[in-house]
A and B are shown apart, each in its own frame.
Chain A
Amino acid sequence: MIDVKYMFLLSRQGKVRLIKWYDVFTHKEKQRILKDISTLVLSRKAKMCNIIEYNNTTEATTTTTSTVATSTNTAIAATTGTNNSGSSGHKVIYKRYASLFFICGIDENSNELLTLEMIHRYVETLDKYFGNVCELDIIFNFSKAYYVLNEMFGCTGALMESSKKDILHNISLMDSIESSDNLSSVLS
């Protein structure tokens, strides 16, 4: 169910507020994705669509130069177009809510529109949970935001529970256990 490969929340200043990897990446890959996609997303203009095709840019440039390097000789050959250079990569779906970007990396065949809906649903759930959520809520209660995320997407990156009510119910149950645990530890 590597539908969503990773998801992270990015502030407008480029600070990561929440990050969740649903697929296996090495530390290096993670850093590179974070860096590349942050710059990509932050440079987008308001009127642009929320879908970016992420190709590993360094790779793209090397291929173009290699095509250039070959056949500089006088051998006459029709240059077939180097059009549409490389798109091996994945799609990045992002959506901005107030000062936060919600960013998802998805498989090439995944449904972009659906992913946007999923992001929206997550934001709605957070909004319900915190009550008019703002960036600070997520910063200071990042673990709670994670819990909501886990309830919603499972650990596999596919929307597992579409009902906001159910999610919130489960989270509040967990929270109540937590506080009762605290209470019992005080009483003991």
Chain B
Amino acid sequence: MSFSDSRLRPFGIFFEKSLKDLINGIRSHNHNAHELHGFLTKSVSECREEVKSPDMTIKTNSILKLSYLEMYGFDMSWADFYVLEVMSSNDFQQKRVGYLAAQQVFHEDSDMLMLATNCLKKDLSNANALKVGIALNGISSIISPNLARDISKDLIKMLRHSKPYIRKKTVASLFKLFLQYPEALRDDFEAFVEKLHDEDTSVVSATVSVICELCKINPQPFMKLLPLFYDMLIEIDNNWIIIRLLKLFTTFCKQEPKLRLKLLPKVLNLIEKTTATSLIYESINCIVKGGMLTADDVDTAVQILELLTKFCASDDPNLRYVSCVLFYYIGKINTAFIYSFDKLVIELLEDVDISIRSKALELLEGIVNEDNLIEITSKLLKQVAIEEEDYTSTVSGISYKITIPIDYKIKIIKSLLYLFSLNDYENISLFEWYITILGDMCDMVLYLKTSIGASNNNVYSKEISGLGVLVGKHLRNVAVKVPEMRDQVVLAIIKIISNSNIYSELSSILVNLFWTLGEFSSLIDNGNDLIRVLISDKEGLVVKLSPVDLKTLFVCLLKVYSNWVNASNTGHTAERNLEEVQKLCKELIEFYEKFSVSVDFEVQERSTQIIEFLKLSFEALEVLNNKGSEEETSGEGQEHQLPGKIELPFLVSDVLPGFFNSWELVPIKQGTQLKLQKKMDLDTSVPFLTAEEIAELDENDVENSFYEDIDDDYNSEVKDQYETSDSDIMDENPYPKKNNKLSKEKIDNPFYLQDDDDDDADGDNAIKERDLLDMNDNTSDTIQTNLDRIQKNKSALLLDTNNSNSGINIQVSRPGRNIDNVSTTQSKKKSKAKKKKIKIISDSTLYNDELEDKLFVNTSSITDKTHRPKNGIDLNLKTNLKNFDFSKPFTTKIGDDEYIEEEDIDINQLRKQFENLKNNDDSMNFKDGEEEEVIIIKKKKKKNNNKKKTNSGKSKKKSKKSVAIIDKEDE
């Protein structure tokens, strides 16, 4: 049968046709995916039948087809036995196909490998060099530890094969073998290393490659060959090998920093001599990544950076890209090196290639300063705002359209925000500009969000709402850290939240905005209008907010109300009459009542709490109002009441602000609170107050029990004190009493986070001091317009409440600031001088020692390989070479037959040892007296026991010692 078949298909015609049939079939069914899939599954099932055929030609053919189909994602591991059959065929063609398929199919754990061992051994001893060659190829892709152990001797012998072709392939396959079976490297180290002197360059090249890769895993065994490699680097003129050697030295340098002195001149010399860019690149790589460039080695850095600058100017995007990456690494060594390359980096931000721009973004951190930040920002934000950019090549003058991908835009915004906040706004010279930019960013993020909204792209929508949070946080941070800018921030925030799209599209930003708004609402004059805008909720968007947003909003509204009601130093008393206060209170109650039935328990709870409090206040107000109207009718009240000094019920005037105004909040470094909890010795046994104090407290309570006071003429004493100083009043009232306790704690507890001393007191002064004239030394157009905008905002901020056409005029008080002068006079002072004028509160920390390297902190952790993603693909080699101990003694002489025998004994011993280790745990399960093997096991057992004994003996000794020490101590 098979004979006649082969007669009918001479020269493998059937073979050719059949694969062709398959491929043609695939091509003709290519019209739709469904049809194609049907055809493919049909073909696979055909192959399943064919592969069982006794005819080797048909079998081979189907295996070949299967390996083709594997590229379409069909698993063919079920066919491993048939593959093995084809592999062991004597026919060269079939063997070739078999090995090809084996490389795709076999895995380390495949059972077939046991069977394959024989086949491999046979092929390795074949007289035909080519057959050996394909077997060697096969070995390296299917090797397992067991297989490696079995064939290691054969391969080592083949290192001295007469044909370089075989030697080369052997060296390559030894790499995989060493990974699986490191013992072979230890035992036959010399035989392997000898190949570095092989007369054939391709063998040398392969050997260097293998050593290079082995060193990445464990450089220790090759360290002693350093001089040899060094000589090779000087002598060899094959670029491929030199590049490998450089890689090798990169690894060595990390191990042995002393190498630097000798190697660096050589590598620099290499750079000068060669013209091959990939070699230059590798040399620089070697210097930078091998740690040969030290932070103080300016000469080398300059030399390298010059080369890289040339690369950056080249036409080849790949060169630009790799040099960008190298710039980054150099910047990591010392930022000062790349600091002067700001022009270059800014140019790269407008490269044709987006991926290069994206790399350049990472460099910004190194080159940014207050002079170029504005330029960088305007360039980058332009890119965010457009979909397509017209790019005109400077060289050819041809223009293209470049689409700017959304992930790049996201990266831009993230990087910019990061740059802004670097080292407490070190690079920001003009905070008005910064706040405007944050506002713009908010618009842009919103725009990005709406632009992807149509195309259901979930990957980015998450990231974009993340950006929203970031922008919100930055606004919050600037408000907290830069007291003088709070009014500006509040303005910006009001502008942002008056855009109703924010609520539906980018609600993630709101939490921080609401909080900031509430916290600094004392800067808002007509808070009543603001509250009405927020609670009117014309489009029903507020009700739909998430519980987190709502919770923040609740408190925010209360804060705004509290501050508006109690503001006494501005001239808007006309609006702030009692009726208005009362009316607003009622409106607020109505607003909160919407949520008193909320599904979210916390929203419900908070709203109810606030309602109850507001109801009390409302009643108190009503009482007062009635009284007031009586007074009005009697005609005395008008004269008596000074502007801005309407007398409010105690509940509203003191208790309400007491909720919030106890402390000025200060920025705290992330994680500080956590540390605080650890360090603080919390004494829960000692009461805060002594009995006398409590008694005193009770007395005070009786004195101004405020429920009664409300009806009476307001306790003027208390009020005076309240006006004179913030802190004194706390002694008098039950609510602030708590705060007083806090302040005591503040004094007693050294860990208490100290507010910056001059924060409250100097706040106003600082603002007055602040000289805006000095600020404005930048006359660029953008700034001018920004300033103009600010100026317009200043006089009367007309709220652009887009859709809700209410056009409310919310005024923000700006104490002691004279902005009119800004545009008229522009003095130019040194930037350093002007910076001092703005007070920036930096993060409070507990200790100085936790100063981290802020620069590149994030990035360095990235390169750390331990941070692998959980579900990411692990590209680490699965090998035990890494932890293999090469220090164990091994015989160095090779060549004698005796030696090999000796070695066999060694190996046997080794095996025993290793099995020993393996069976360490199992050894207890073995029973005595089974057979010869058992004897060995018994021996092992003894050994183990001995070891254990010695171990336990040691530990006993130790414990005795420790006992002795304890005894001594006792004495």
Q: Which A residues have a C-beta under 8 Å from some C-beta of B? A: 1-3, 5, 16-20, 23-25, 27, 29, 31-34, 45, 47-53, 56-59, 61, 64-65, 67-68, 71-72, 74-90, 107, 109, 111-114, 116-117, 139-140, 142-143, 146-147, 150, 154-156, 158-163, 166, 170, 173-174, 177-179, 181-183, 185-186
Contact = CB atoms under 8 A, between A and B. Distances in A.
B968 to A, nearest CB: 49
Interface of B: 6-7, 10-12, 19-20, 23, 64, 67-68, 70-73, 75, 91-93, 96-97, 100, 103, 107-108, 128, 130, 133-134, 137-141, 165, 168-169, 172-173, 175-176, 202, 205-206, 209-210, 212-213, 216, 240, 243, 247, 250, 277-278, 281-282, 285, 289, 316-322, 352-356, 362, 365, 400, 402-403, 414-415, 417-419, 421-422, 424, 459, 462-463, 465-466, 469-470, 473-474, 476-477, 480-481, 508, 511, 515, 548, 552, 665-673, 843, 854, 857-859, 862-863, 865, 867-873, 875, 877-878
Contacts of B6: 185-186
Closest 4 CB pairs of A and B: A81-B418, A49-B317, A59-B869, A113-B278
A178 B470 contact: no
Contacts of A78: 421, 424, 477, 481, 667, 669-670, 843
Contacts of A174: 92, 96, 130, 134
A81 B875 contact: no
Contact of A156 (B7, B130, B175, B854): B175
A140 to B, nearest CB: 6
Contacts of B418: 80-83
Contact of B130 (A61, A143, A170): A170
A162 B205 CA distance: 9
A18 to B, nearest CB: 7
B511 A72 contact: yes
B168 A182 contact: no
A56 B843 CA distance: 34
B240 A47 contact: no
A154 B140 contact: yes
A178 B414 contact: no
Nearest to A117: B278
Contact of B93 (A5, A107, A178): A178
B558 to A, nearest CB: 14
Nearest to B214: A1
B744 to A, nearest CB: 23
A160 B91 contact: no
B517 to A, nearest CB: 13
A47 B400 contact: yes
Contact of A162 (B7, B202, B285, B400): B202
A47 B862 contact: no
Contacts of A67: 466
Contacts of A25: 873
B230 to A, nearest CB: 20
Contacts of B666: 76
Contact of B91 (A2, A18, A185): A185
Given A77-B668, A155-B172, A156-B176, A88 B353 contact: no
Contacts of B353: 47-49
A112 B857 contact: no
Contacts of B138: 155
Contact of A74 (B19, B515, B672, B878): B515
A107 B250 CA distance: 14
11 contacts: A1-B212, A16-B71, A47-B402, A81-B415, A82-B858, A86-B862, A111-B278, A113-B319, A155-B103, A170-B165, A178-B92
A71 B548 CA distance: 12
B363 to A, nearest CB: 10
B466 A65 contact: yes
A181 B12 CA distance: 10
Nearest to B470: A79
A83 B858 contact: yes
A17 B71 CA distance: 7
A150 to B, nearest CB: 5
B92 A27 contact: no
Contacts of B469: 68, 72
A160 B466 contact: no
Contacts of A53: 355
A26 to B, nearest CB: 9
B202 A163 contact: yes
A143 B477 contact: no
A173 B130 contact: yes
B873 A84 contact: no
A154 B206 contact: yes
Contacts of A17: 71
A181 B131 CA distance: 13
Contact of B317 (A48, A158, A163): A48
Given A88-B867, A143-B97, A158-B209, 12 more contacts: A45-B354, A64-B466, A67-B466, A75-B673, A76-B665, A79-B473, A81-B418, A109-B285, A155-B176, A161-B168, A182-B10, A183-B11
Contacts of A65: 462-463, 466
Nearest to A47: B352
Contacts of A23: 875, 877
Contacts of B10: 182, 185-186
Given A88-B869, A109-B289, A112-B318, A77 B670 contact: yes
Nearest to A147: B96
A127 to B, nearest CB: 20
A157 B656 CA distance: 72
A75 B844 CA distance: 13
A3 B463 contact: no
Given A88-B869, A185-B91, A81 B414 contact: yes
Contacts of A81: 414-415, 417-419, 421-422, 858
Given A18-B71, A81-B417, A49 B356 contact: yes
Contacts of B466: 64-65, 67-68
Contacts of A113: 277-278, 281-282, 318-319, 322
B665 A160 contact: no
B877 A88 contact: no
Contacts of B71: 16-19, 142
A47 B6 CA distance: 53
A1 B857 contact: no
B206 A16 contact: no
A162 B240 contact: yes
A172 to B, nearest CB: 11
Given A88-B872, A177-B128, A181-B92, A75 B11 contact: no
Contacts of A49: 316-318, 320-321, 353, 355-356
Given A3-B213, A77-B669, A113-B281, A160 B172 contact: yes
Contacts of A45: 354, 402-403
Contact of A111 (B282, B316, B671): B282
Contacts of A5: 875
Contacts of A86: 862, 867, 869
Contacts of A84: 362, 415, 858-859, 862
Contacts of B668: 75-77
B278 to A, nearest CB: 4
A111 B862 contact: no
A166 B168 CA distance: 12
B93 A181 contact: yes
A74 to B, nearest CB: 6
A106 to B, nearest CB: 10
B193 to A, nearest CB: 16
A1 B12 contact: no
Contacts of B508: 68
Given A82-B470, A83-B365, A51 B318 contact: yes
Nearest to B872: A56
B23 A140 contact: yes
A52 B356 CA distance: 10
A88 B137 contact: no
Nearest to A93: B318
Contacts of B355: 48-49, 51-53
